[in-house]
Amino acid sequence: MELSGTWNGNWKSCKSGHHGKLNAHFCRLDETHVQAKFTGSFAKVIPFRYRPVLTIAHEEPGLMILEGNKKLPLVGNFYYSAIVSEAGFSATYRSRRDHGVWQMSRR
């Protein structure tokens, strides 16, 4: 599946209800890794950037499952899992104090 390019959407915390814009750019590094660059906003005015390397857990024509985790300052361990298809990018995330969803489609 071709993942490269720019994606746009939103994120939402299922715990607090906070939400905001989310943009992403993906670049495949090798057979099992994708570099992601997420940018977005928190509380409508606080920008954030997050650049994880995602692991391709499964891939077949038209479908990719990405997973990963990272230790973040003030957050602790941050885990995520995403299903990507031509229809869009749908992910869940969780940390010690929060959990939520990311939804995006290609620009």
Among candidates 61, 66, 62, 60, which has minimal Cα distance to 28? 66
Structural domain count, the chain: 1
Average pLDDT taken over every residue of the chain: 93
pLDDT at 21 over 90: yes
Angle at 81 between CA 73 and CA 29, to 5 degrees: 85
Residues 43 and 18: beta-carbon distance below 8 Å: yes
Among candidates 28, 26, 27, which has minimal Cα distance to 102? 26
**pTM score of the predicted model:** 0.88
Give me the CATH number covering residue 34: 2.40.128.20
Range of the domain at 64: 5-106
CA–CA dist 99, 16 (Å, integer):
9
Of 23-32, 41-50, 78-87, which range is least confident?
41-50
pLDDT of residue 36: 94
Tens-place pLDDT, residues 48-88: 998 999 999 999 999 999 999 988 887 789 899 999 998 89
**DSSP designation for 4:** -
